[in-house]
């Protein structure tokens, strides 16, 4: 990976999750009850991100609502909500999640092309090979297709989507971009073949660099220019006036869920292991965690559990609490500190070759506003982040003018 910054600028994407990426964000005094059910809430967050010159905002999605006490009882369909956001913003990219397992590719291609035209070149699809039997039952199936079939369908799905875009007249702004986030070997290969942007999980810069190198090597084997991808590791920044206050914010949010459900009881089924009877303050027996992606409901979570237990030295209880409180942000790096400390961390990663970051703010809009007002100026002062938008399309922001639209 390159280690210089000449001509490079850090890319930032914002995951817009309800009132914050932490599953206890709803309980924080800064959160407005019911805001996650209002389109104007997301418009406000997107405008803040645009004020901070972010490349894009991102909406996650699933074909099923959650199955435990943390679940939001309603979720907007991403492409619909992003269309509403498109008319209230000017430059920021708009990334919406679609399931390649439970959607028709031509229908999705047409909807994404509509968003691309409405936004004048700012659209992207985050393609996910949805996992879980609970999702499958929503579509009349007893269980999900196996791992290989899901990813084979995802590859064919995206090929059809591209073909449909190529056949649709009036694509004055180029095609939408494709984003992918699969962490398995099959998922990485799909990203290397099809994606313009890759959302990466992991635990620290070593994981980010390893995944980045692997994705680019796979892309080269598929005949692609490895420089034609942007790989953005996920980071959850806990930002406060002091480092101690940042850790306290995380602890306070984590504590909300300890009284809702036992994290250890939650973790066992997620990683596909029987954790009952283990000493909660003893080591997690990582050899007992399944590695088959179809044997567990969260293969990436199981992988991180191993990492936390071995590299991080966390106990069974600590691993469970960390993963439970983090929700689907659990496979991202957590960073705690002041604006300067957060900026220094992101700048350090960037100078070691990382393209940028998918940010998951624990609280929004308050956390987004604070990041934009305090961290962004420091990144600009360090010379690693734009001081103004130079392009009008998402492809232009990302320097991917060969596909997905020019400047």
Number of domains in the chain: 2
Domain that holds residue 314: 244-325
Is 4 among the domain residues? no
Query: pLDDT tens digits for 164-214?
Result: 999 986 567 889 999 998 777 888 999 999 999 999 877 788 888 988 999
Among residues 242, 252, 245, the alpha carbon closest in space to that of 22 is found at 252
What does the pLDDT look like over 257-306, one tens digit per residue? 666 667 787 777 777 777 878 888 988 887 767 665 544 445 567 777 87
pLDDT in tens, 319-359: 887 777 655 444 578 899 999 999 999 999 999 999 999 99
End residue of a domain, out of 325, 350, 384 = 325
Same domain? For 223 and 252 the reply is no
Ranges assigned E (strand) in 192-291 = 197-200, 230-239
- Both 31 and 125 in one domain: the answer is yes
Residue 340 resides in a domain = yes
Whether the CB-CB separation of 78 and 127 falls below 8 Å is answered with no
Instruction: Kindly state whether residues 225 and 361 are assigned to the same domain.
Output: yes
Using CA atoms, how far apart are residues 145 and 136, in angstroms rounded to an integer? 8
Query: Of 325, 357, 388, which residue sits at a domain end?
Result: 325
- Tell whether 79 and 159 lie within a shared domain: yes
In a domain, 61, yes or no: yes
Q: Which of 291, 325, 359 is the last residue before a domain boundary?
A: 325
Based on the fold, state whether residues 160 and 296 are members of the same structural domain: no
CATH number at residue 197: 3.20.20.30
Query: Does 262 share its domain with 130?
Result: no
Smallest CA-to-CA distance from 401 within 228, 234, 283 is with 228
Domain presence at residue 5? no
The whole model's pTM is what? 0.87
271 and 384 in a single domain? The answer is: no
Residue 304 three-state SS: helix
Nearest to 200 by CA among 230, 227, 233, 176: 233
**Angstrom distance (rounded) from CA 256 to CA 185:** 35
Tell me, yes or no, whether 92 lies in a domain. Answer: yes
Is residue 110 in some structural domain? yes
Among 147, 142, 122, 156, CA closest to 46: 122
20 and 56 within one domain: yes
Residue 153 has a pLDDT of 94
């Amino acid at each position: 990976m390159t280690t210089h910054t000449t001509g490079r600028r850090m890319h930032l994407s914002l995951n817009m999750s309800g009132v914050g990426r932490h599953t206890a964000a709803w309980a924080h005094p800064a959160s407005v009850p019911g805001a996650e059910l209002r389109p104007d809430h997301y418009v406000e967050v997107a405008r803040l991100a645009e004020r901070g010159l972010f490349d894009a905002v991102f909406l996650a999605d699933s074909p099923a609502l959650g199955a435990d006490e943390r679940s939001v009882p309603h979720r907007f369909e991403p492409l619909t909500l992003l269309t509403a956001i498109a008319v209230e913003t000017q430059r920021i990219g708009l990334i919406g999640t679609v399931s390649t397992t439970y959607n028709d590719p031509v229908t999705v291609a047409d909807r994404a092309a509509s968003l691309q035209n409405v936004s004048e070149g700012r659209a992207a699809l985050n393609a996910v090979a949805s996992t879980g039997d609970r999702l499958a039952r929503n579509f009349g199936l007893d269980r999900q297709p196996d791992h290989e079939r899901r990813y084979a369908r995802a590859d064919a799905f995206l090929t059809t989507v591209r073909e449909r875009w190529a056949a649709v007249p009036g694509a004055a702004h180029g095609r939408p971009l494709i984003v992918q986030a699969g962490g398995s070997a099959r998922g990485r290969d799909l990203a290397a073949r099809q994606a313009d942007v890759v959302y990466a999980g992991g635990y620290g810069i070593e994981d980010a660099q390893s995944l980045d190198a692997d994705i680019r090597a796979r892309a080269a084997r598929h005949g692609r220019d490895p420089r034609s991808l942007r790989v953005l590791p996920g980071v959850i920044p806990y930002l406060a006036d002091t480092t101690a206050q940042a850790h306290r914010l995380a602890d306070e949010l984590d504590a909300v869920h300890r009284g809702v459900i036992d994290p250890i009881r939650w973790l066992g089924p997620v990683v596909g292991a029987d954790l009952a009877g283990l000493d909660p303050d003893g080591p997690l027996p990582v050899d007992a965690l399944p590695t088959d992606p179809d044997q567990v409901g969260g293969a990436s979570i199981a992988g991180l559990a191993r990492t936390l237990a071995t590299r991080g030295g966390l106990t069974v209880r600590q691993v469970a609490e960390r993963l439970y409180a983090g929700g689907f942000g659990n496979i991202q790096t957590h960073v705690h500190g002041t604006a300067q400390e957060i900026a220094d961390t992101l700048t350090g990663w960037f100078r070691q070759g990382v393209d940028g970051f998918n940010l998951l703010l624990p609280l929004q809009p308050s956390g987004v506003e604070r990041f934009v007002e305090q961290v962004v100026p420091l990144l600009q002062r360090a010379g690693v982040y734009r001081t103004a938008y130079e392009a009008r399309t998402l492809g232009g922001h990302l320097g991917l003018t060969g596909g997905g639209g020019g400047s």
